[in-house]
Amino acid sequence: MQMFFLQFLNGLQLSMLIFLLAAGLTLIFGLMDILNLAHGAFFTMGAYAGWLVSRMTGSYWAALLIGPLVPFALGALLQSAVLQPLVKRGRSTHLDLALLTFGLLFATAGTVEYFFGSSFYSIPTPAILSGRIAMLGIDYPVYRLFVIGVGLGVALLLSLVIDRTLIGATLRAGVDNREMVTALGININVVFVIVFGCGAALAGFAGVIAAPIMSVYSQMGIGIVVTTFVVVVVGGLGNLKGSFYGALFVGMTDTMAQAYLPEAELFAIYVLLVGMMIFRPQGLFGSTGRVA
Amino acid sequence: MLEVQDLHTFYGESHVLQGVSLSVAPSQCVALLGRNGAGKTTTLRSILGLTPARRGEVTFKGEVITRKPTHQIVRLGVSYVPEDRGIFATVTVEEHLAMARGASRGRPARKDIGYVFEVFPRLAERRHSLGGQLSGGEQQMLAIGRALIAGPDLLVLDEPSEGLAPVIIEKLEEVLLAVKRMGVPILIVEQNYHLATRLADYVYVLSQGSVKFAGATEALTRDENIRRTYLSV
Ligand SMILES: Nc1ncnc2c1ncn2[C@@H]1O[C@H](COP(=O)(O)OP(=O)(O)OP(=O)(O)O)[C@@H](O)[C@H]1O
Ligand SMILES: [Mg+2]
């Protein structure tokens, strides 16, 4: 029982980390119809930027705040300087963009390795979040509880923004009918750049959050982007709520398989993916093109 | 106010508009008539920059807008009610209006949301409903209310009466007449000939992507030949 509780918390922690990535990925897809395979690159950039900041300032919190700004800026730049012009030139089918962003994912890993080498780094856990806390018969690391809390907090905040604010209404409108948004006098390209930047920043934020518990290395974004894709497919592309439950589903499956069915660990989530594609291709949360 | 000169518009290789010219004067209501597939919607889409024309020129308030992006054209004061009404399924009535209001920041004649609720009291009752939950009539009221928020210098409507019950069409006519009395120029595409001729001062009849008739509304009502050939009324 204690073992299960421990695994449950581990699963929850992993789920929340993946959710931070999946949220951006699904919003970008829902709004712009871009399957952004480079999303994992922003995770890597955030982690390295955070690592640099933490080394220079010695502060985890500075890393958490400043780290995501790098992927925000590069994400906004990618959308405005590369992807947007492609749309104008008519070279923006799903395949075009998937190939391009796939290339960017690996190019980022290579570039990072060129500058930082192939060593593994880590951001030290801040003092206030280190140590363990005794609960229900187990000693659980405080930092992992913090990750769970942050994930839940971000999920709540995102759903409030999307459901209750005018910015959220604009996003919902854009997912539903982009053309009509422009016909209201709104420059949808600006909305796209901001959403792309914010999605990238969330991925970078996840990178910093992950740094004290996972290694920071050049390829770190590649494995996780695959898991994130499974989440987004399971939850339904373009659906924020779906990506939350999808993340829980995938994170739990992965963790529980590791704990109780180690032989299945490597392919458990892919079984989930394939099963989903065959039996419920629209994902758990059905209708396509909804963000809320 | 609006001048359209020799517009040629294509969908891929298909040459849909073959030299459409028309104009809307200040305070004038102009109707664009014609059978299904005549190119009425395409004309409006070309004016708004949604399907940009390949040749020709559109001028609005003296400014050439042919190649401008849609959002800039709209900000100059063109409000658009598309054929499918363009209501967002997952956005509430109030949010629709607030979005349009936010987007028309800086326009001198911009209205409050309360103004739309006065014109269409039914929308006030439905303010928290999602667009997807509205009836066809309510959606059309919302689409028109949303277009009026900006305090437009030109109101462009694509078949506003389509699919509406007769009582709702009466209400629609009343509202559009009121808009016209306020001096807002209107460019309206309508299949409902009687509604169109009651509203419009001037009429263009389109067939196969070019203008076959242009004249005052009374001239069209007198010209049985044109009506029979191009409108089947
Ligand atoms: N997206 C499109 N791609 C290709 N052809 C199109 C497209 N939209 C319209 N057309 C064609 O262009 C022509 C003009 O269409 P348009 O929609 O402008 O007509 P309309 O006068 O508005 O007709 P309706 O009364 O049915 O709304 C038609 O022959 C139509 O088939
Ligand atoms: Mg039409």
Q: What is the pLDDT of residues B55-93, one digit of tens each?
A: 999 999 999 999 999 999 999 999 999 999 999 999 999
Q: Which residue's alpha carbon is at the smallest distance from atom 26 of ligand 1?
A: B36
Mean pLDDT of B40-50: 96
Say whether B88 and A177 touch across the interface (CB within 8 A): yes
A chain contacts of residue B44, beta-carbon cutoff 8 Å: none
Cβ atoms A186, A55 nearer than 8 A:
no
Coil, helix or strand at residue B16: strand
In a domain, B224, yes or no: yes
* Residues of chain B neighbouring A184 (CB-CB closer than 8 A): 71, 74, 99-100, 103, 146
Ligand 1 pocket test: which of B7, B10, B11, B50 has the largest number of ligand atoms within 8 Å of its C-beta?
B11
A159 to chain B, any CB pair closer than 8 A? The answer is no
B75 contact residues in A (CB cutoff 8 A): 185
We report the CATH number of the domain holding residue B34 as: 3.40.50.300
pLDDT (tens digit per residue) in A221-232:
998 998 998 998
User: Is residue B171 a part of any domain in this protein?
Assistant: no
Question: Ligand 1 pocket, B42 CB below 6 A?
Answer: yes
pLDDT digits (tens, 9 = 90+) for B144-164: 999 999 999 999 999 999 989
Query: What is chain B's Cα-based Rg?
Result: 17
Closest CA to A239 of A21, A22, A12: A22
* A186 vs B: CB within 8 A: yes
Domain boundaries, chain A: 2-117+134-279
Ligand nearest to the Cα of B39, by number: 1
Closest-lying ligand 1 atom to the alpha carbon of residue B159:
27
CA of B208 to the centre of ligand 1 (A): 10
CA distance A51 to A115: 14
> Atom 1 in ligand 1: which residue has the minimum CA distance?
B11
Interface pTM (ipTM) of the complex?
0.92
Is residue B200 in some structural domain?
yes
User: Measuring from atom 22 of ligand 1, which residue has the nearest CA?
Assistant: B41
Question: Which site among A180, A191, A285 would you substitute to test the B interface, given the most B Cβ atoms closer than 10 Å to its Cβ?
Answer: A180
Q: How far is A119 from chain B (nearest CA, A)?
A: 48
Q: B213 lies in a domain?
A: yes
Does residue B40 lie in a domain region? Answer: yes
Stretch A161-186: mean pLDDT, rounded? 93
What pLDDT is recorded for position A239?
83
In which band, very low, low, confident or very high, does the pLDDT at A292 lie, cut at 50, 70 and 90?
very low
- Give which of A159, A175, A179, A184 to mutate to test B binding, by max B Cβ within 10 Å: A184
pLDDT tens-digit map of B103-137: 998 898 899 999 999 999 999 999 999 999 999 99
DSSP string across chain A: -HHHHHHHHHHHHHHHHHHHHHHHHHHHHHHH----TTHHHHHHHHHHHHHHHHHHH--HHHHHHHTTHHHHHHHHHIIIIIIHHHHHTT---HHHHHHHHHHHHHHHHHHHHHHHTT--B-PPPPGGG-SEEEETTEEEEHHHHHHHHHHHHHHHHHHHHHHHSHHHHHHHHHHH-HHHHHTTT--HHHHHHHHHHHHHHHHHHHHHHHTTTS-B-TTHHHHHHHHHHHHHHHH-TT-HHHHHHHHHHHHHHHHHHHHH-GGGTTTHHHHHHHHHHHH-TT-TT-STT---
Task: Give B83 Cα–ligand 2 centroid separation in angstroms.
Answer: 6
Residue nearest to atom 7 of ligand 1 (CA): B11
pLDDT at B49 exceeding the cut of 60 = yes
Residues A183, B99: C-beta atoms closer than 8 Å: no
In B, minimum Cα distance to A179 occurs at B50
Say if B99 falls within a structural domain: no
Residue B50 and residue A183: Cβ atoms within 8 Å?
yes
Domain count, chain B: 1
Tokens for B24?
């809307």
Structural domain harbouring B59: 1-68+189-233
Tens digit of each residue's pLDDT (9 = 90 or more) over A257-290: 888 888 887 788 888 888 888 888 788 776 554 4
Average pLDDT, chain B: 93
Residue B41 Cβ inside 6 Å of ligand 1? The answer reads yes
Q: Closest partner residue to A185 among B88, B91, B103, by Cβ?
A: B103
Which pLDDT score, from 0 to 100, does residue A286 have? 62
